[in-house]
Amino acid sequence: MALPDTRPADGGAGSPPAPPRSRPSWAVLAMMILVILFVLVPFFFWHGTWFGRPLSEDEIGRYLADATHPRKTQHALTQIGERILRGDPAVRRWYPAVQALADHQLPELRGMAAWVMGQDNQSPDFHTTLIRMLADLDPMVRRNAALSLVRFADAAGRPELIHMLRPYQLAAPGTGRLQPRLKLNDVVNPGTLLARIARAGNEVFEVRSPLPGTLEAWLAAENEEVQAGQPILRLAPAPEQVWEALRALHLVGEEEDLADVERYSRTVSGMPERIQQQAARTAARIRSRLKSVN
């Protein structure tokens, strides 16, 4: 029996062999490497700066001792605060380092140290340090200290809590022509550039916000010659600052605070409804305390 003819119908010698696979060109490889880098580099940066990443004891010690890298120090402080809240007694070994940051040159580290010290309201050393921090030159540091003192049932920071409910005026750091950088109702954060003060000879003073809030008013006109120490703008408080102050005054507020508190029980521009509700609760609690005393 003859075998079937397996030659192609066109009588050729069969299908041509598949061409060899070409290797990726250097351009393709370079593009792949760039794609990988664009994915991995941000990830490693995020992982390295994410405050939720657990730190070893050695890392916490190094980050607290070397405050030249503020974000690393803040990372360590965040985890110390979390460990205090979990009731970890071993965290007390870092208390002296936390207290030392109360005198650091960077206000953001002083302010965060004040927050951490408020997490352990049984530490007399923390209590003493927080009282001293009420005299800090930076308003955010003073406010964090005042809020933390409330956890110690200490109303020493009550005047600062009231300031958190009021507009904040900024003064010119030097004499010169005012050059505003923002417009009314712009939201600002600590460090936001608000204006420049231009002097003769190309010397310029920068005016940066020490607080979060909203630009409520310019108190001097553009290009007006202002004097050092002259008020030049006013910031309305940020909702979160008002919220924290109202919660603290719920515990330590007094009769003379009612006018500031009750202003927020009515509609205030830029304030959410929860602010009104908390203001009403705080005012009611202050009045309740007054009745119990009388």
| pLDDT single digits (tens) 165-190 | 999 999 999 999 999 999 999 999 99
Nearest CA-CA partner of 169 in 225, 222, 217: 217
Q: Confirm whether 54 is domain-assigned.
A: yes
pLDDT at residue number 265 = 94
Q: Which residue, chain included where needed, has tokens 């300031």?
A: 163
Q: Confirm whether 30 is domain-assigned.
A: no
Number of domains in the chain: 3
Q: Confirm whether 219 is domain-assigned.
A: yes
CATH number at residue 99: 1.25.10.10
Q: Is 80 helix (H, G, I), strand (E, B) or coil?
A: helix
What's the pLDDT tens digit per position in 92-126? 999 999 999 999 999 999 999 999 999 999 999 99
The model's confidence at residue 280, banded by pLDDT at 50, 70 and 90, is very high
| End-of-domain residue from the set 121, 156, 191 | 156
- Cβ proximity of 261 and 285 under 8 Å: no
Tell me the average pLDDT of the chain.
87
Residues 256 and 289 grouped into a single domain: yes
pLDDT at residue number 24 = 58
Q: Is 71 helix (H, G, I), strand (E, B) or coil?
A: helix
Residues 56 and 97 grouped into a single domain: yes
Mean pLDDT of 62-84: 90
The model's confidence at residue 5, banded by pLDDT at 50, 70 and 90, is very low
Residues 152 and 75 grouped into a single domain: yes
Chain centroid to Cα 179, Å, comes to: 27
Q: Are strands 231-237 and 168-171 parallel, antiparallel or unpaired?
A: antiparallel
Q: Confirm whether 43 is domain-assigned.
A: no
Q: Confirm whether 38 is domain-assigned.
A: no
What's the pLDDT tens digit per position in 16-45? 555 555 555 666 555 655 544 444 444 344
Q: Confirm whether 81 is domain-assigned.
A: yes
The model's confidence at residue 11, banded by pLDDT at 50, 70 and 90, is very low
Residues 253 and 224 grouped into a single domain: no
Residues 182 and 126 grouped into a single domain: no
What's the pLDDT tens digit per position in 207-255? 999 999 999 999 999 999 999 999 999 999 999 999 999 999 999 999 9
pLDDT at residue number 169 = 97
Domain, as residue range, for 142: 50-156
